[in-house]
């Protein structure tokens, strides 16, 4: 799991707004510490609720043979990062429904527990937190089920259209257009609230709308990208002139004979012609300078088994999707145990841009 810095900022803002305004307005007459204690419980509980929501997607995905790399908490909630899209509509549907279904069950369970504490004044802070978390989980489920991609409801819509038509691309485009429509509606409502009532909540809806619109547009762009690259092996788009480094080179020798002359961001490391890992300038800088003359590249390189790589005939669209999902800006292309090329996300995007502008297929 990864926590984005934006989530930390949101958590601090939410805790302050709850303790200073929202909770005292609804539950009057309690000590100030009770409000802050409840606010902290709500923020921690919200984070846990989002993680569990995404974990429900993850567990169902794994049961459907869809790999999920990690869960990330960020400003607008959480996301389960897929290494690949589901290949069957039923898997997409099951994964999409799992998160909201969990949130509904979890929210109702929290509401029931809050009800049990309602007559216990010594647990007033916990009761406030549970009641608020129950509402948040139900709101989370309801909002996520809006039929607008990439929300869970949008994925449900895509799965149903996919089942009916057998065309994933068409289903994605329709669901993403619905996402754009909802985003514009949210921004419009937010602007209306902001300018007519001066309420800060209007700005929040505008931000959510902007995020949703960007995500929906990104889905359409990814669809166009996959269509342009579909069926093309990555061998046609990779850089073939690869500068490797033997694993026996010391760091000093690597710097003098490779790094300073070529200034690449990644160097495949080889041992007797076989690929054993990769080394980057930052890997060298992480080592004590007084050890550069004795330490070899093979001792500090990232092992090949732990390094994302493409195969020579792998579909270029699949490689680009994988690079984006794994946040990998460059990737070795391997054939018969040796590195035969390097593919970079920047080069792929530049190739696509030129192809669109000149009306040609990338290659």
144 near 100, Cβ under 8 Å?
yes
Q: How many CB atoms lie within 10 A of CB 121?
A: 9
Q: Of 54, 92, 180, 270, which residue is the catalytic one?
A: 54
Among residues 67, 124, 62, which one has the least CA distance to residue 94?
A: 62
**What's the per-residue H, E or C state across 66-79?**
CCEEEEEEECCEEE
179, 184, 186, 192 alpha-carbon torsion, rounded to 10°: -170
**Helices in the chain by DSSP H: which ranges?**
5-17, 23-26, 32-63, 89-117, 124-144, 152-165, 168-197, 201-229, 251-254, 260-262, 281-285, 297-300, 316-325, 345-358
Instruction: Give CA angle at 243 (273, 330), nearest 5°.
Output: 105
Kind of pairing between the strands at 310-311 and 330-335: parallel
DSSP 229-265: HTT-BGGGTSB-----EETT-BHHHHIIIIIHHH--S
What are the C-alpha distances in Å from 31 to residues 18, 19, 20, 34, 200? 14, 11, 12, 5, 27
DSSP 140-188: HHHHHTSS-TTSHHHHHHHHHHHHHHS-HHHHHHHHHHHHHHHHHHHHH
Question: In the annotation, is 270 catalytic?
Answer: no
Structure tokens at 363: 């290659």
Instruction: Give CA angle at 151 (148, 153), nearest 5°.
Output: 65
**Measured distance CA(85)–CA(95) in Å, rounded:** 11
Half-sphere exposure at residue 358, Cβ-oriented, CA atoms within 13 angstroms: 10
What is the set of active-site residues? 54
């Amino acid at each position: 799991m990864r926590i984005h810095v934006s989530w930390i900022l949101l958590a601090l803002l939410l805790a302050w707004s709850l303790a200073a305004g929202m909770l005292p307005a609804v539950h009057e007459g309690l000590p100030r510490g009770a409000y802050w204690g409840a606010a902290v419980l709500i923020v921690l509980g919200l984070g846990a609720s989002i993680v569990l929501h995404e974990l429900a997607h993850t567990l169902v995905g794994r049961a459907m043979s869809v790999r999920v790399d990690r869960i990330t908490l960020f400003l607008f909630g959480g996301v389960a990062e897929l290494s690949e899209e589901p290949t069957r509509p039923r898997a997409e549907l099951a994964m999409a429904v799992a998160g909201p279904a969990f949130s509904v069950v979890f929210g109702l369970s929290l509401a029931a527990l809050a009800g049990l504490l309602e007559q216990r004044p010594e647990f007033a802070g916990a009761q406030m937190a549970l009641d608020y978390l129950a509402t948040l989980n139900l709101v989370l489920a309801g909002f996520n089920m809006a039929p607008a991609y990439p929300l869970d409801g949008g994925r449900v819509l895509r799965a149903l259209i996919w089942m009916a038509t057998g065309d994933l691309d068409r289903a994605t485009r329709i669901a993403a257009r619905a996402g754009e429509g909802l985003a514009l509606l949210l921004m419009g409502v937010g602007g209306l609230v902001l300018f007519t009532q001066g309420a800060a909540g209007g700005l929040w809806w505008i931000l959510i709308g902007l995020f949703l619109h960007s995500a929906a547009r990104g889905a359409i762009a990814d669809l166009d990208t996959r269509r342009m690259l579909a069926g093309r092996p990555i061998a046609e788009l990779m850089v073939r002139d690869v500068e490797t480094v033997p694993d026996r080179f010391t760091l000093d020798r690597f710097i003098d004979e490779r790094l300073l002359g070529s200034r690449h961001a990644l160097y495949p490391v080889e041992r007797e012609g076989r690929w054993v890992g990769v080394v980057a300038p930052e890997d060298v800088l992480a080592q004590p300078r007084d050890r550069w003359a004795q330490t070899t590249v093979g001792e500090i390189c990232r092992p090949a088994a732990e390094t994302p790589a493409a195969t020579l005939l792998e579909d270029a669209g699949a490689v680009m999707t994988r690079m984006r999902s794994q946040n990998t800006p460059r990737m070795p292309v391997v054939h018969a145990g040796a590195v035969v090329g390097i593919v970079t996300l920047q080069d792929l995007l530049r190739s696509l841009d030129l192809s669109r502008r000149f009306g040609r297929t990338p290659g």
